[in-house]
A = this chain, B = another copy of it.
Amino acid sequence: MTEPDARERLIVRGVNVLSEHGFAATGLDSLLKESRVPKGSFYYYFRSKSDFVLVVIDRYAELWDRKLRRILGNVAMPPLERIERYIDESTAGMKKYGFKRGCLVGNLGQELGSLDPAIATRLAEVLDAWALHMEACLLDARAAGDIHASLNPKTLAQFFWTSWEGAVLRAKVQRSTLPIEHFKEVLLCHLRTAGAAKSSAAANPGVAP
Protein backbone atom coordinates (compact mmCIF):
# COMPACT_ATOMS: atom_id res chain seq x y z
CA MET A 1 0.00 0.00 0.00
CA THR A 2 2.89 2.40 0.70
CA GLU A 3 5.62 3.42 -1.68
CA PRO A 4 8.66 5.59 -1.07
CA ASP A 5 7.62 8.48 -3.34
CA ALA A 6 3.97 8.81 -2.33
CA ARG A 7 4.72 10.89 0.78
CA GLU A 8 7.03 13.10 -1.26
CA ARG A 9 4.39 13.60 -3.97
CA LEU A 10 1.84 14.63 -1.34
CA ILE A 11 4.24 17.18 0.16
CA VAL A 12 5.20 18.70 -3.20
CA ARG A 13 1.57 18.89 -4.29
CA GLY A 14 0.67 20.35 -0.87
CA VAL A 15 3.23 23.13 -1.29
CA ASN A 16 1.85 24.07 -4.73
CA VAL A 17 -1.81 23.89 -3.76
CA LEU A 18 -1.45 25.75 -0.46
CA SER A 19 0.51 28.50 -2.24
CA GLU A 20 -2.58 29.09 -4.38
CA HIS A 21 -5.49 28.54 -2.04
CA GLY A 22 -5.89 28.34 1.65
CA PHE A 23 -6.47 25.13 3.50
CA ALA A 24 -10.27 25.15 3.35
CA ALA A 25 -10.36 25.37 -0.44
CA THR A 26 -7.84 22.52 -0.68
CA GLY A 27 -9.76 19.28 -0.52
CA LEU A 28 -7.73 16.40 0.84
CA ASP A 29 -9.48 14.05 -1.57
CA SER A 30 -8.44 15.93 -4.70
CA LEU A 31 -4.93 16.33 -3.32
CA LEU A 32 -4.63 12.57 -2.83
CA LYS A 33 -6.08 11.94 -6.28
CA GLU A 34 -3.71 14.38 -8.00
CA SER A 35 -0.78 12.83 -6.15
CA ARG A 36 -1.96 9.34 -7.16
CA VAL A 37 -1.97 8.25 -3.52
CA PRO A 38 -4.78 5.94 -2.33
CA LYS A 39 -7.08 7.62 0.16
CA GLY A 40 -6.53 4.99 2.81
CA SER A 41 -2.79 5.53 3.04
CA PHE A 42 -2.81 9.24 3.98
CA TYR A 43 -2.78 8.43 7.69
CA TYR A 44 0.09 6.04 7.12
CA TYR A 45 2.26 9.00 6.06
CA PHE A 46 0.82 11.71 8.32
CA ARG A 47 -0.70 11.56 11.78
CA SER A 48 -3.35 14.12 10.90
CA LYS A 49 -4.31 16.81 8.42
CA SER A 50 -2.68 19.31 10.77
CA ASP A 51 0.55 17.24 10.84
CA PHE A 52 0.53 17.24 7.02
CA VAL A 53 0.18 21.03 6.91
CA LEU A 54 3.13 21.40 9.33
CA VAL A 55 5.30 19.19 7.09
CA VAL A 56 4.25 21.22 4.03
CA ILE A 57 5.11 24.47 5.86
CA ASP A 58 8.56 23.07 6.72
CA ARG A 59 9.21 22.15 3.10
CA TYR A 60 8.12 25.61 1.89
CA ALA A 61 10.28 27.25 4.57
CA GLU A 62 13.33 25.23 3.41
CA LEU A 63 12.80 26.23 -0.23
CA TRP A 64 12.50 29.90 0.73
CA ASP A 65 15.46 29.70 3.08
CA ARG A 66 17.64 28.61 0.17
CA LYS A 67 16.28 31.42 -2.02
CA LEU A 68 16.91 34.02 0.70
CA ARG A 69 20.45 32.78 1.31
CA ARG A 70 21.16 32.91 -2.43
CA ILE A 71 19.81 36.44 -2.93
CA LEU A 72 20.01 38.33 0.39
CA GLY A 73 23.24 36.63 1.40
CA ASN A 74 25.01 37.35 -1.90
CA VAL A 75 27.87 39.53 -0.66
CA ALA A 76 29.03 40.14 -4.24
CA MET A 77 26.05 42.47 -4.67
CA PRO A 78 25.38 45.78 -2.83
CA PRO A 79 22.89 45.09 0.02
CA LEU A 80 20.04 47.28 -1.22
CA GLU A 81 20.32 45.73 -4.70
CA ARG A 82 19.91 42.30 -3.12
CA ILE A 83 16.62 43.41 -1.58
CA GLU A 84 15.49 44.80 -4.95
CA ARG A 85 16.49 41.52 -6.59
CA TYR A 86 14.44 39.52 -4.11
CA ILE A 87 11.37 41.68 -4.76
CA ASP A 88 11.84 41.54 -8.54
CA GLU A 89 12.39 37.76 -8.68
CA SER A 90 9.35 37.12 -6.51
CA THR A 91 7.23 39.49 -8.58
CA ALA A 92 8.28 37.67 -11.75
CA GLY A 93 7.26 34.40 -10.06
CA MET A 94 3.80 35.75 -9.26
CA LYS A 95 3.36 36.94 -12.87
CA LYS A 96 4.50 33.56 -14.20
CA TYR A 97 1.71 31.81 -12.29
CA GLY A 98 -0.93 34.34 -13.35
CA PHE A 99 -1.13 35.82 -9.82
CA LYS A 100 -2.70 32.59 -8.61
CA ARG A 101 0.18 31.74 -6.32
CA GLY A 102 0.76 33.91 -3.34
CA CYS A 103 2.74 33.13 -0.23
CA LEU A 104 1.90 29.86 1.49
CA VAL A 105 2.72 31.41 4.87
CA GLY A 106 0.38 34.34 4.26
CA ASN A 107 -2.37 32.10 2.89
CA LEU A 108 -2.30 29.80 5.89
CA GLY A 109 -1.80 32.62 8.37
CA GLN A 110 -4.95 34.34 7.21
CA GLU A 111 -7.01 31.20 7.40
CA LEU A 112 -5.58 29.05 10.17
CA GLY A 113 -3.87 31.65 12.30
CA SER A 114 -6.93 32.10 14.43
CA LEU A 115 -7.81 28.41 14.41
CA ASP A 116 -4.82 26.14 14.99
CA PRO A 117 -2.24 27.24 17.60
CA ALA A 118 0.49 24.78 16.44
CA ILE A 119 0.26 26.08 12.87
CA ALA A 120 0.12 29.72 14.00
CA THR A 121 3.30 29.20 16.08
CA ARG A 122 5.11 27.52 13.19
CA LEU A 123 4.14 30.31 10.76
CA ALA A 124 5.47 32.95 13.17
CA GLU A 125 8.75 30.98 13.47
CA VAL A 126 9.13 30.83 9.70
CA LEU A 127 8.59 34.59 9.36
CA ASP A 128 11.12 35.18 12.16
CA ALA A 129 13.68 33.02 10.33
CA TRP A 130 13.11 34.98 7.12
CA ALA A 131 13.49 38.20 9.09
CA LEU A 132 16.99 37.10 10.19
CA HIS A 133 18.12 36.93 6.54
CA MET A 134 16.71 40.39 5.90
CA GLU A 135 18.24 41.78 9.09
CA ALA A 136 21.70 40.46 8.11
CA CYS A 137 21.38 42.13 4.71
CA LEU A 138 20.29 45.42 6.32
CA LEU A 139 23.23 45.23 8.75
CA ASP A 140 25.50 44.93 5.69
CA ALA A 141 23.73 48.00 4.26
CA ARG A 142 24.28 49.94 7.46
CA ALA A 143 27.93 48.90 7.66
CA ALA A 144 28.38 50.10 4.06
CA GLY A 145 26.70 53.42 4.88
CA ASP A 146 23.88 52.67 2.42
CA ILE A 147 21.16 53.21 5.04
CA HIS A 148 21.09 55.83 7.76
CA ALA A 149 22.76 54.84 11.04
CA SER A 150 19.56 55.61 12.96
CA LEU A 151 17.51 52.93 11.14
CA ASN A 152 16.94 49.71 13.07
CA PRO A 153 17.65 46.61 10.90
CA LYS A 154 15.72 44.33 13.28
CA THR A 155 12.53 46.41 13.18
CA LEU A 156 12.89 47.01 9.44
CA ALA A 157 13.32 43.28 8.79
CA GLN A 158 10.11 42.46 10.65
CA PHE A 159 8.38 45.32 8.89
CA PHE A 160 9.59 44.04 5.52
CA TRP A 161 7.87 40.68 5.84
CA THR A 162 4.56 41.93 7.22
CA SER A 163 4.32 44.56 4.48
CA TRP A 164 5.48 42.08 1.87
CA GLU A 165 2.72 39.65 2.82
CA GLY A 166 0.21 42.47 2.51
CA ALA A 167 1.55 43.47 -0.91
CA VAL A 168 1.52 39.88 -2.19
CA LEU A 169 -2.06 39.42 -0.96
CA ARG A 170 -3.23 42.54 -2.73
CA ALA A 171 -1.31 41.70 -5.93
CA LYS A 172 -3.15 38.38 -5.95
CA VAL A 173 -6.56 40.03 -5.43
CA GLN A 174 -5.92 42.69 -8.10
CA ARG A 175 -4.03 40.32 -10.44
CA SER A 176 -1.51 43.14 -10.82
CA THR A 177 2.06 43.88 -9.76
CA LEU A 178 1.10 47.47 -8.85
CA PRO A 179 0.80 46.89 -5.06
CA ILE A 180 4.27 45.34 -5.05
CA GLU A 181 5.63 48.24 -7.12
CA HIS A 182 4.23 50.73 -4.58
CA PHE A 183 5.73 48.70 -1.75
CA LYS A 184 9.11 48.60 -3.49
CA GLU A 185 9.07 52.32 -4.23
CA VAL A 186 8.27 53.32 -0.63
CA LEU A 187 10.64 50.75 0.89
CA LEU A 188 13.63 51.77 -1.23
CA CYS A 189 12.90 55.47 -0.70
CA HIS A 190 12.83 54.69 3.02
CA LEU A 191 16.09 52.74 3.01
CA ARG A 192 17.86 55.34 0.87
CA THR A 193 16.64 58.53 2.51
CA ALA A 194 14.89 57.98 5.86
CA GLY A 195 16.53 58.72 9.17
CA ALA A 196 18.13 61.89 7.86
CA ALA A 197 16.90 65.17 9.26
CA LYS A 198 14.34 66.94 7.08
CA SER A 199 15.61 70.20 5.63
CA SER A 200 12.99 72.04 7.67
CA ALA A 201 13.87 70.26 10.93
CA ALA A 202 16.50 71.79 13.16
CA ALA A 203 17.77 68.44 14.40
CA ASN A 204 17.05 64.76 14.09
CA PRO A 205 16.64 63.21 17.55
CA GLY A 206 16.62 59.72 16.04
CA VAL A 207 20.22 59.81 14.82
CA ALA A 208 22.58 57.44 16.61
CA PRO A 209 25.74 58.97 18.09
Q: Which A residues form the contact surface with B (CB < 8 A)?
A: 20-22, 24-25, 99-100, 102, 106-107, 109-111, 113-115, 120, 123-124, 127, 145, 148, 151-152, 155-156, 158-159, 161-167, 169-170, 172-175, 178-179, 182-183, 185-186, 189-190, 192-201, 204, 206
Count the copies: 2
A167 touches B173 (CB 8 A): no
| Complex A-B: 24 CB contacts under 8 Å | A20-B114, A21-B115, A25-B115, A99-B114, A109-B173, A111-B111, A113-B172, A152-B185, A155-B185, A155-B186, A156-B186, A158-B179, A159-B163, A159-B186, A162-B166, A162-B167, A165-B169, A165-B170, A166-B169, A193-B195, A193-B196, A193-B201, A193-B204, A193-B206
Q: A21 to chain B: closest CB distance in Å?
A: 7
Knowing A24-B24, A107-B110, A183-B163, say if A206 contacts B194 (CB, 8 Å).
no
Q: How far does the alpha carbon of A92 sit from the alpha carbon of B77 in the complex, in Å?
A: 42
Identify whether the interface residues of A are mostly helix, strand, loop, or mixed.
Answer: helix
Chain B residues with Cβ below 8 Å from A163 are 159, 162-163, 166-167, 183
Q: How far does the alpha carbon of A100 sit from the alpha carbon of B189 in the complex, in Å?
A: 34
Q: How far does the alpha carbon of A173 sit from the alpha carbon of B172 in the complex, in Å?
A: 20
Knowing A22-B111, A100-B114, say if A162 contacts B183 (CB, 8 Å).
yes
